[in-house]
A = this chain, B = another copy of it.
Amino acid sequence: MEEQEITVSLSTQKKEKPKSDELQFGRIFTDHMFILDYEEEAGWHSPRIIPYQPLTLDPASIVFHYGQTVFEGLKAYVTKSDEVRLFRPEKNMERLNRSNDRMCIPRVDENLALEAIKKLVSIDKEWIPTAPGTSLYIRPFIISTEPYLGVAPSRSYQFIIILSPVGAYYEEGINPVRIAVEDEFVRAVKGGTGEAKTAGNYASSLKAQELVSDKGYAQVLWLDGVEKKYVEEVGSMNVFFKINGEVITPELNGSILEGVTRSSVIQLLRHWDVPVTERKISMEEVYEAYQRGELEEAFGAGTAAVISPIGELAWKEEKLVINDGITGEIAKKLYDKLTGIQYGTESDPFEWVEVVK
């Protein structure tokens, strides 16, 4: 593939930046966006950074009807010494292409996509918030734009990147959440699209999420769609249980999203000689460990919260209060190390960080 030059057209009107105590998640967007077009004959072409602006799309565009789309989510962090850093962004681009394969979307050039992220972030660098725990959320996504009502892969696409300054996930440091195990609704099943980061998986999760929020739970813990027995993942996090000294996480089985945080957690635990296993784990097993007093910790892992300790797990009629509802030792250590690497206060033994010039 030929090297493609990213053209830049700067915004003349700069928007007002939010105050750091007003930051939420994903509601405010920066001054610029990146776009790359695809047509069958031309392939991916015309990479460009332009002022943030609405998309203009035919109402028959496939994305509106058949949801042929994929996305990614990662963050840019700024260090005390004003260095802008990404955390394993190449992993997100690899996953984007795996999602593309599943959704019949043509692969993108991962190097070009990475360059686009870096260039866009550096142009909107002033938008990266600096308060502790804040960051710039990066959302690359691909939409199918062919105006055609037949159920078939689109013949045209747009790859877009937008940026959103986001607040700290935890207002006052890492804090345990309450999670409800979902045993009616299913997010994904073997043979479906669970391992792809695609719109439909999230659309199908809304109902269950809505029902548990009403009961005061932060998120749903999904079980496998076949037997409704084995643990899969939380809304937007992979999940880990520490049972009798061993850390266990559900193995990748086709219906779980392969999280970048998940793989980093596994690597760090191995590095620290903490036993860690990827395998099937049923809720029965978790519950039995709990009853024996051996369920020492449970936590989610994902880009948004990094590590999210689970203080309470509601399952059927049971409420499992884990580690007295307090953040566990391993969860805390992982959180400190990962955020330390991201914000440049900890050493980076695996060279996960990529500096944006």
A64 on interface, CB distance cutoff 8 Å: yes
Check B67 against A203 for contact (C-beta < 8 Å): yes
A282 on interface, CB distance cutoff 8 Å: no
A98 on interface, CB distance cutoff 8 Å: no
- Name A137's contact: one of B68, B137, B149 (CB within 8 Å): B149
Contacts of A226 in B (CB 8 A): 189, 225-226
A332 on interface, CB distance cutoff 8 Å: no
Check A191 against B185 for contact (C-beta < 8 Å): yes
- Report A134 CB to chain B, min CB distance, Å: 15
Distance of A141 Cα from B204 Cα, bound (Å):
17
- Report A97 CB to chain B, min CB distance, Å: 15
- Name A204's contact: one of B184, B200, B202 (CB within 8 Å): B200
Oligomeric state, in number of copies? 2
- Report A154 CB to chain B, min CB distance, Å: 9
Check A190 against B199 for contact (C-beta < 8 Å): no
Distance of A137 Cα from B299 Cα, bound (Å):
50
Contacts of A348 in B (CB 8 A): none
Instruction: Give residues of chain A (65-83) contacting chain B, Cβ–Cβ below 8 Å.
Output: 65-69, 71
Greatest chain B CB density within 10 A among A52, A54, A67, A139 is at A67
- Name A57's contact: one of B57, B188, B235 (CB within 8 Å): B57
Instruction: Give residues of chain A (118-165) contacting chain B, Cβ–Cβ below 8 Å.
Output: 137, 139, 141, 143, 147-153, 160, 162, 164
A181 on interface, CB distance cutoff 8 Å: no
Check B143 against A139 for contact (C-beta < 8 Å): no
Distance of A143 Cα from B235 Cα, bound (Å):
22
Which residue of chain B has its CB nearest to the CB of A26?
B149
Check B209 against A152 for contact (C-beta < 8 Å): yes
A277 on interface, CB distance cutoff 8 Å: no
Check B141 against A199 for contact (C-beta < 8 Å): no
Distance of A57 Cα from B54 Cα, bound (Å):
5
- Report A89 CB to chain B, min CB distance, Å: 18
Distance of A190 Cα from B206 Cα, bound (Å):
16
Contacts of A33 in B (CB 8 A): 59
B interface footprint on A179-211 (CB within 8 Å = 1, 0 otherwise): 000001111111111000011111111110110
Check B69 against A64 for contact (C-beta < 8 Å): yes
B interface footprint on A36-68 (CB within 8 Å = 1, 0 otherwise): 000000000000000011111111100111111
Q: Can you report 15 A-B residue pairs in the complex whose CB atoms are below 8 A from each other?
A: A25-B149, A26-B60, A55-B58, A57-B57, A63-B64, A63-B199, A65-B69, A65-B199, A67-B200, A68-B206, A153-B210, A184-B191, A189-B225, A198-B203, A200-B203
Q: Interface of A with B (CB < 8 Å)?
A: 25-27, 29, 33, 52-60, 63-69, 71, 102-104, 137, 139, 141, 143, 147-153, 160, 162, 164, 184-193, 198-207, 209-210, 225-226, 228, 235-236
A-B complex: 8 closest residue pairs judged by Cβ atoms: A200-B200, A26-B149, A67-B199, A186-B191, A66-B202, A67-B67, A67-B203, A189-B189
- 5 more A-B contacts (CB under 8 A) besides A192-B192, A193-B200? A29-B59, A29-B147, A151-B206, A151-B235, A186-B192
